[in-house]
Amino acid sequence: MNNQTHATSTGTVDTGAVDTGTVDSAAVRTWLVGLQRQIVSALEAEDGSRFREDQWQRENVAKSEQSQPSQQSQPSQQSEKPALTGGGGLTCILEGGALLERGGIGFSNVSGTRLPPSATAARPQLVGRHWEAMGVSLVLHPRNPFIPTVHLNVRFFVAQPIEGSGEQPIWWFGGGMDLTPYYGFEEDAAHFHRTCADALQPFGAETYPRFKAWCDDYFFLKHRGEPRGIGGIFFDDLAEPDFATAFALTQAVGNGFIEAWLPIAKRRRDHAYGEREREWQALRRGRYVEFNLVWDRGTLFGLQSGGRTESILMSMPPGVQWAYNHQPEPGSPEARLLSHYLVPRNWV
Amino acid sequence: MNNQTHATSTGTVDTGAVDTGTVDSAAVRTWLVGLQRQIVSALEAEDGSRFREDQWQRENVAKSEQSQPSQQSQPSQQSEKPALTGGGGLTCILEGGALLERGGIGFSNVSGTRLPPSATAARPQLVGRHWEAMGVSLVLHPRNPFIPTVHLNVRFFVAQPIEGSGEQPIWWFGGGMDLTPYYGFEEDAAHFHRTCADALQPFGAETYPRFKAWCDDYFFLKHRGEPRGIGGIFFDDLAEPDFATAFALTQAVGNGFIEAWLPIAKRRRDHAYGEREREWQALRRGRYVEFNLVWDRGTLFGLQSGGRTESILMSMPPGVQWAYNHQPEPGSPEARLLSHYLVPRNWV
């Protein structure tokens, strides 16, 4: 560990004075814990309600191994063996707030000695290594349908070398944020993407367009032929050019979140709405559920590998509807969301 | 084809006078179409509203190949290539009824010339064969929280031998029905299971217990350590002892549905309820969504292989809620559902 590499709660890292190649997971943890605290405070100030805090520790045996009722008949599902063996987290949740109908921000830090075959198949060099994963994940479902739902995630993975092997740690960062409006506003979409682009600007002009395209690609409901929302940025497996720079980039994304979303929420929170807008919001929230449960790798891996269900599913919306083949009236604001916003566009 | 093997709309098959080994997919189709019609009529009579009927044809190119917006960045998801290349179906849906808040019954009959690798990996003898799949699938979400949600599925798969190969068709039946109450009633659970057991009785005393255990095993939310409901029966890959008997068993299951569920619905439909019961129902419906989107093989395969989304997702409930770590009050009827009904039990 390099004690000179550390993050403050506002996320600045002096990458000049330190060995930029030294992996410092303690610094990442300190930053993540501070980021969660900072976002909780900003949201509480805006909402007027407090988040509930739920500190949890990982059990050693996964639920799926404990309570399966019957093994008499054929096994129904190929399930990953539990991959997580230690650690815990802090889940902060606000339900029934004036601004947030349901919002969760989770910090987790889990570790283990054995990765599941799905992880080591593609990276055989991970076999036998002690690994650690940490991150902050957030989904906010506002009450007012004119405020978009938003998602942020920043995460870090490191696998230590086997003692005496002389090998290096294997590590990467991942994350991003994306916006899911129920009613489209050019101004809001442009502001969100502009803030993302500004945060990434120090890391090269090509970074924002690359992460923007990656986000469009990832948050796409293939079974609907439809994007989840108006996108944002997404990245994974980031281990270039060195630890300090990749960490600084991840910090820029996390630290940019409040500026990306809160001005939009403030601008729309007093926008009048009625039953019609709430119903549309509930139907569109159904798409959010579909994406998270059918396509989102993090959610599926977590649920299938014995992760903490309530923390993973804090992303679920508070009230959701499904209706057969629902089509908004042509020319309506609801139809305009689909035709003008849920299409690939450059917002900056 | 053996013209002597055919099913009537009430599902009787004379297995005595025919070659019980001859695969007759036309007879299966005729029975399935009649079963759907029969159930629709019975439910319309009880509800007082009509089902909407939506006849659909399969497009040749799957959605997921047409409208993916960006291929610039890394592919986000390992998706099956579309497995379905022809056919269609009839989706019947009732929303906003007096009895059924949302209910769907679908018949589908699809075919193709190439099975996806996931199907042929386990059965290499299927490679290159023309295949056909057909079935009736039903999920009913009643409005009254004292009436359980119910699911029925009966299906048939056949892959024809390659011409001139001298091989036999490969075929199997699958299906079952299961009950998901929001409030437990011993009488209802016993009636449902008794009807299932009676339907299977002609096929051997061991059939019901085996299919009952298989159902408990299949409809289990591993990430919650919780069954979806009080079970019922489930079977798959049934190709024993011969075509006619396997078909007759499948017919017995499908034809038993109305008797298994309708008396329960009639008994509970005037049971008074309020906001509390509706909220509990909405929370429990969230579990239904979780099972179907995270664990149900049919749903996942359908959505990931370019199946018809609206037909697959007619199983989704009309109104759903999620709340963090919701626990019913000890001693309440809601708590009793979890402690006395959503546990492995013998109901017959």
On chain A, the residues whose CB falls within 8 A of the CB of B226 are 67
Say yes or no for a CB contact (<8 Å) between B319 and A318: no
**B101 reaches A (C-beta below 8 A):** no
Minimal CA separation from B129 to chain A, in Å: 26
User: What pLDDT score was predicted for residue B2?
Assistant: 36
Minimal CA separation from B219 to chain A, in Å: 9
Say yes or no for a CB contact (<8 Å) between A95 and B323: yes
* Residue B336 Cα distances to A30, A293, B290, B328, B339, angstroms: 44, 28, 21, 9, 5
Neighbours of B44 (CB within 10 A): 17
Say yes or no for a CB contact (<8 Å) between A75 and B217: yes
Size of interface A-B (CB pairs under 8 A): 179
Say yes or no for a CB contact (<8 Å) between A70 and B213: yes
Say yes or no for a CB contact (<8 Å) between B303 and A294: yes
Contact predicate B107/B36, CB 8 Å: yes
d(CA B103, CA B97): 9
What phi and psi values does residue A207 have, to the nearest 5 degrees? -70, -50
ipTM of this complex prediction, to 2 decimal places:
0.87
Segment B166-225, tens digit of pLDDT: 888 999 999 999 999 999 999 999 999 999 999 999 999 999 999 999 999 999 999 999
Q: Does the pLDDT at position B64 exceed 70?
A: no
Segment A199-217, tens digit of pLDDT: 999 999 999 999 999 999 9
CB contact residues (below 8 A), chain B span 257-276, against chain A: none
d(CA B264, CA B189): 9
User: What pLDDT score was predicted for residue A12?
Assistant: 43
Minimal CA separation from B14 to chain A, in Å: 30
**A81 reaches B (C-beta below 8 A):** no
- Catalytically active residues of A are 151
Domains of chain A and CATH, by start: 21-53+84-341 (3.40.1500.10)
Mean pLDDT of B249-264: 98
Say yes or no for a CB contact (<8 Å) between B69 and A324: no
CB contact residues (below 8 A), chain A span 35-74, against chain B: 52, 54, 63-64, 66-74
Amino acid at A147: I
Say yes or no for a CB contact (<8 Å) between B52 and A324: yes
Neighbours of A25 (CB within 10 A): 21
pLDDT interval class at B74 (50, 70, 90) = very low
Mean pLDDT of A304-324: 94
- Mean pLDDT check: name the lowest of A54-58, A128-132, B97-101, B260-264: A128-132
- Mean pLDDT check: name the lowest of A113-122, A254-263, B305-314, B334-343: A113-122
Segment B269-280, tens digit of pLDDT: 999 999 999 999
Q: What is the mean pLDDT of chain A?
A: 88
pTM of the model: 0.88
Q: Which residue in chain A has the smallest CA separation from B222?
A: A64
Q: Does the pLDDT at position B17 exceed 70?
A: no
N- to C-terminal Cα separation, chain A: 39
- What does the DSSP assignment read for A160-193? PPPTTS-PPPEEEEEEEEEEE-SS--HHHHHHHH
Say yes or no for a CB contact (<8 Å) between B310 and A324: yes
B95 is written with which tokens? 């929303």
On chain A, the residues whose CB falls within 8 A of the CB of B345 are none
Interface test with A, best of B139, B235, B324, B346 (most A CBs within 10 A): B324
Q: Does the pLDDT at position B156 exceed 70?
A: yes
Amino acid at A223: H
d(CA B43, CA B53): 14
Is the model more confident about B28 or about A67?
Answer: B28
User: What pLDDT score was predicted for residue A122?
Assistant: 80
Contact predicate A179/A337, CB 8 Å: no
